[in-house]
Amino acid sequence: MRLAFVWDSRRCIGCMACVIACASANHPELLREAKPNPQWNWLGGNIRVVVRDVGGRPVLRLVSCQHCDNPPCVHACPTGASYIDERTGFVRLDPSKCVGCKACVVACPYGARWLHPVTMLPEKCPGPFCSEIKKAVCAEVCPAGARLVGDLDDPESPVNEVLRKYKTERMLEHLGTEPKWFIITG
């Protein structure tokens, strides 16, 4: 199984439901104290919002772990704490092996990892609540139908359906990271 995320940039209206729901479900202990995620100076969740002017108007990108098939964070990890979960294809962290060296944080070209200000563990998607309910909260809450999670190895999966149907791109693909996080652009 190789689970992948799809984000439909044509549909996303930037309502922030996924961003806030991810933080609220996965890291309420940070928000109640209004402690920022120090990496991004942002709320303690796994989705970062990037808005840049491109071609004369603001363009939005939602950035979280890309679940690379060739993940720099896994390669950089000296202890094997960062690994690809063979059952899901997701990049995960085994905290029992983490020595807090932050190599994964530095290695990730997407800046998708952030240090929990209390535990100092390098947090990332999927968060603990999503893992527990076995659902991606971001996809569940999206009002615009702009988010999808599914198995790339299953030809019948809705993810493969949309990948066949639409033009997609992956962020920083040229780095050879083989991200499993697709953006529908047209």
Nearest to 138 by CA among 73, 77, 79, 65: 65
Residue 49 binds other proteins (CB under 8 A): yes
Residue 160 binds other proteins (CB under 8 A): no
Q: How many Å from the N-terminal Cα to the C-terminal Cα in the chain? A: 27
Residue 9 binds other proteins (CB under 8 A): yes
Residue 167 binds other proteins (CB under 8 A): no
The answer to whether 124 touches 72, Cβ cutoff 8 Å, is no
The answer to whether 8 touches 28, Cβ cutoff 8 Å, is no
Residue 27 binds other proteins (CB under 8 A): yes
Residue 137 binds other proteins (CB under 8 A): yes
Distances 174 to 4, 60, 169, 180 between C-alpha atoms, Å: 19, 21, 11, 14
Decide whether 140 or 161 has the Cβ nearer to other proteins: 140
Nearest to 186 by CA among 161, 170, 158, 167: 167
User: What is the rounded CA–CA span in Å between residue 6 and residue 149?
Assistant: 6
Residue of 118, 167, 172, 173 that binds other proteins (CB under 8 A):
118
Residue of 76, 106, 115, 121 that binds other proteins (CB under 8 A):
121
Residue 2 binds other proteins (CB under 8 A): no
Decide whether 95 or 176 has the Cβ nearer to other proteins: 95
Residue 131 binds other proteins (CB under 8 A): yes
Residue 32 binds other proteins (CB under 8 A): yes
3-state SS, residue 21:
helix
Residue of 63, 84, 144, 152 that binds other proteins (CB under 8 A):
144
Residue 111 binds other proteins (CB under 8 A): no
